[in-house]
Chain A
Amino acid sequence: MTLWWWLLLSCVLAYAWKLVGYLVPASLLRNPRTSRVAGTMTIGLLASLTVVNAVASGQSLALDARLGALAAAAVALLFRAPFLVVVLAGAGAAAGLRLLGWG
């Protein structure tokens, strides 16, 4: 299956989640565990995506300029920088470290 099909299927499923909240009786979804799982999974997925993009290189782990990006982003976030500045700090750190010959 090509990427297009997975992409469009993802769009359908994303809309299905949203619509479920409006169409399914609230009593079915009011289980506190449902919102707990939705919340903890959001944290877990974002933490995992951060790590994968920082240190994974295919099926191995690599320590390179992306670690500098992670540190720069953390510093920007500590100083309450807006999202776009955080992203630019990450890009700048990775590009800068590569200019210096690391990773």
Chain B
Amino acid sequence: MKLSQSPAFRVGLSISIATGLYGVSFGALSVASGLDFWQTMALSLLLFSGGSQFAFIGVIAGGGSGLAAMGAATLLGMRNGIYGMQLNALLQPRGWRRFAAAHVTIDESTATSTGQTDPAEQQRGFWTAGIGVFVLWNAFTAVGALAGAALGDPKQWGLDGAAVAAFLGLLWPRLKGREPVAIAVVCALATVLAVPLVPSGVPILVAALVAAVIGWFSHGRRDEGLEPDVDPYAAEHDAGRRAARTAEEAG
């Protein structure tokens, strides 16, 4: 099969462009939070996991310590370990490919791959989205970091508001149903209560602990919260929902 005819390749490419583009916002916000150009690039090149990168700079922007920033970023990275386990069973990479696969194991590459049923398509989807997002995310991080540095006073441009919007945008696709909303509300409340009591950055870790306890003791969907930021198969999922609704109305 020609690569251009592969559905997984096409989905992987479009998700790469959509995700890569918002690297601009990461780059600009990272510089506004006080990191320099190369610290920003190191996060995109080496840490390479959108949520964790935003978490790191979000803690720093709020005056938190490097240790608290590392804690938030690392806890948010745990889900990549779950993705790695799923992908290892699915793709079975061997030798050096396993180490390369690990680096590009993120929400988007996992969702693109697991959304396919044919093993060859799963491979194509994973590598297209993984490498595509990596290249574009880093290119647009650089653009954003350079633009952010040129902007001057970040508050005048509302960049602190942009950070709030970015976190809500990352949270939003994971709020499907009553349970995730309840978890989000409880953790938001825990954060507000903790802010005056503990040093900056620590309220985020308090919320993580609350969320972990809820996850440990409650029984719910096993993949709760493990949705990608951008759904590679949004069009099909929408069509599926529409069909279900039509069937419901007809029945």
Binding site for B on A (CB under 8 A): 1-11, 13-15, 17-24, 26, 29-30, 32-56, 58-61, 65-66, 68-70, 72-74, 76-77, 82-84, 86-96, 98
User: A42 to B58, Cβ gap below 8 A?
Assistant: no
The stretch of B5-13, B113-121, B225-233, B240-248 in contact with A is B225-233
Within B121-179, the residues touching A (CB, 8 Å) are 155-172, 174-175
Binding site for A on B (CB under 8 A): 18, 21-22, 24-25, 35, 39, 42-43, 46-49, 51-52, 54-56, 58-63, 65-67, 69-70, 72-89, 93, 98-99, 101-103, 105, 155-172, 174-175, 180, 183-188, 190-192, 195-196, 199-200, 203-204, 206-208, 210-212, 214-216, 218, 220-226, 229-230
Task: Look across to chain A and name the residue whose beta carbon is closest to the beta carbon of B61.
Answer: A53
User: B88 to A21, Cβ gap below 8 A?
Assistant: yes
**Cα-based distance from A66 to B77 in the complex (angstroms):** 27
Q: How far is the CB of A41 from chain B (nearest CB, A)?
A: 5
User: A58 to B25, Cβ gap below 8 A?
Assistant: no
Q: Known contacts A43-B225, A45-B207, A95-B156; is A90 also within 8 Å of B165 by CB? A: yes
Known: A40-B212, A56-B195, A70-B165. 17 other contacts (CB 8 A): A3-B60, A13-B70, A13-B77, A14-B73, A14-B80, A36-B222, A41-B78, A41-B215, A41-B225, A42-B76, A44-B208, A56-B191, A74-B168, A83-B25, A90-B168, A92-B158, A94-B158
Q: Known contacts A47-B187, A70-B165; is A91 also within 8 Å of B49 by CB? A: no
Q: Known contacts A15-B103, A77-B172; is A69 also within 8 Å of B78 by CB? A: no
**Cα-based distance from A55 to B215 in the complex (angstroms):** 26
User: B196 to A60, Cβ gap below 8 A?
Assistant: yes
Interface centre among B59, B88, B221, by most A CB within 10 Å?
Answer: B88
User: B168 to A6, Cβ gap below 8 A?
Assistant: no
User: A33 to B216, Cβ gap below 8 A?
Assistant: yes
